[in-house]
């Protein structure tokens, strides 16, 4: 009897389109992300992460990109506290079904400090502690070796120093976490992405409509130009990095500094239309409470969605609801039975909601909360 019941449960489970991100899949439907960029060492704190995580969940997002500033030029903090706080932030996002890309930030040159950043030599010890602390954490989606390596840093640092630093950090990550996906991002200059193909699992490209969108009101002609320019950049970037998958790791527009909230939403709609057509995974800039880069965020300080955030939410409304295992757009007793079956089978992909590598009472509580919230 037990075997018959199990086979029935498995047959039902086959109809469930999994909401867990596969590390080999970087398409529009499967990599739905936001950047979290706060003041404290750029990765913020647990309280702000909780607000952003809930907002990201409301927008149906499943990947959060966090830039961890490894150098100590701005804030003096012990390595141990730095790592502890970062782990807490990551686990906060994991508890809301979101995996994390860690950007190893705060360095540019290999043994020469550039601008406000340190060198690889300066941050190597802290980077080692961060990687060792997180290398077996199932919430980690990937390691980004450097943000906007050549395109964002060559004005302050010798490109040869940058290249040497990137390769040194990649070697460190690959030595300590050899199976982990890696990437190196570049902005605007799609032709620079090819330099990192041999050390990347996927390519990460950043694009902002700085020349296309300069103020409100945003006209239809501006949206047409944005659509054309963004499509052209993505197509060229794909060609440059093939056969690697391409992810747009940053994009956005400031509001109210550049455009009003309604025009920010209009720009987001145009960009998401392009992303869906080109079928690329995307990570918006940002879903932050106190966005350290300015007013790019698509959420308000209390976590409620700006009009642009609602555009993001609508872009993914056709996707499965977390906890709706049989895909009928409801969470009910059938899903409860399936959850208990996954727990019994130790099916981490389906029932490890907080991505801690085990299924237990915490995951049960998360499922029950999702069920209650859906009523």
- Domains belonging to the chain, first-starting first, are 1-19+321-375 (no CATH), 23-315 (3.20.20.80)
**pLDDT for 356:** 84
What does the radius of gyration of the chain's CA atoms come to, in whole angstroms? 21
Separation between Cα atoms, residue 127 and residue 132, nearest integer Å: 8
Q: Are residues 227 and 273 in contact, defined by beta-carbon separation less than 8 angstroms?
A: yes
> Who contacts 218 (Cβ-Cβ below 8 Å, separation ≥6)?
259, 263, 266, 267
The structure's pTM equals: 0.82
**pLDDT for 3:** 39
61-77 pLDDT, tens digit per residue, is 999 999 988 886 445 66
Q: Are residues 21 and 141 in contact, defined by beta-carbon separation less than 8 angstroms?
A: yes
Separation between Cα atoms, residue 335 and residue 285, nearest integer Å: 34
**pLDDT for 372:** 80
Separation between Cα atoms, residue 147 and residue 194, nearest integer Å: 15
In this prediction, the residues of the chain whose per-residue pLDDT falls under 70 are: 1-24, 40, 72-77, 319-320, 373-375
Distances in Å between the alpha carbon of 144 and those of 148, 178, 180, 204, 249? 10, 14, 10, 9, 10
């Amino acid at each position: 009897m037990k075997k018959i019941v199990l086979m029935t449960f498995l047959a039902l489970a086959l109809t469930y389109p999994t909401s867990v991100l596969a590390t080999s899949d970087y398409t529009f439907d499967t990599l739905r992300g936001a950047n979290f960029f706060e003041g404290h060492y750029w990765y913020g704190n647990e309280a702000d992460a909780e607000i952003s995580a809930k907002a990201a969940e409301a927008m149906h997002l499943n990947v959060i990109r966090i830039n961890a500033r490894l150098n100590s030029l701005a804030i003096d903090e012990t390595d141990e506290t730095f790592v502890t706080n970062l782990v807490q932030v990551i686990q906060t996002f994991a508890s809301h079904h979101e995996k994390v890309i860690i950007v190893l930030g705060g360095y540019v040159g290999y043994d020469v400090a550039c601008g406000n950043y340190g060198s690889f030599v300066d941050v190597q010890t802290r980077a080692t502690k961060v990687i060792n602390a997180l290398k077996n954490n199932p919430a980690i989606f990937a390691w980004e070796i450097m943000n906007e390596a050549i395109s964002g840093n060559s004005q302050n640092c010798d490109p040869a120093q940058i290249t040497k630093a990137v390769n040194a950090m990649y070697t460190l990550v690959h030595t300590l976490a050899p199976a982990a996906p890696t990437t190196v991002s570049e902005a605007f200059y799609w032709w620079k992405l090819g330099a990192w193909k041999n050390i990347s699992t996927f390519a990460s490209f950043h694009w902002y409509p700085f020349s296309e969108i300069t103020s409100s009101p945003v006209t239809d002609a501006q949206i047409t130009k944005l659509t054309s320019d963004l499509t052209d950049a993505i197509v060229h970037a794909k060609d440059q990095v093939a056969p690697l998958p391409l992810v747009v790791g940053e994009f956005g527009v400031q509001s109210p500094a550049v455009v009003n909230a309604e025009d920010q939403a209009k720009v987001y709609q145009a960009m998401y239309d392009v992303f869906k057509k080109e079928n690329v995974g995307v990570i918006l800039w940002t879903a932050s409470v106190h966005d350290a880069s300015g007013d790019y965020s698509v959420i308000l300080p209390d976590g409620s969605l700006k009009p642009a955030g609602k555009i993001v939410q609508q872009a993914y409304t056709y996707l499965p609801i977390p906890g709706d295992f049989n895909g009928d757009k409801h969470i009910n007793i059938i899903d409860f039975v399936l959850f208990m079956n996954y727990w019994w089978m130790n099916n981490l992909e389906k029932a490890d909601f907080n991505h801690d590598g085990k299924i237990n009472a915490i995951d049960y509580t998360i499922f029950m909360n999702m069920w209650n919230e859906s009523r």
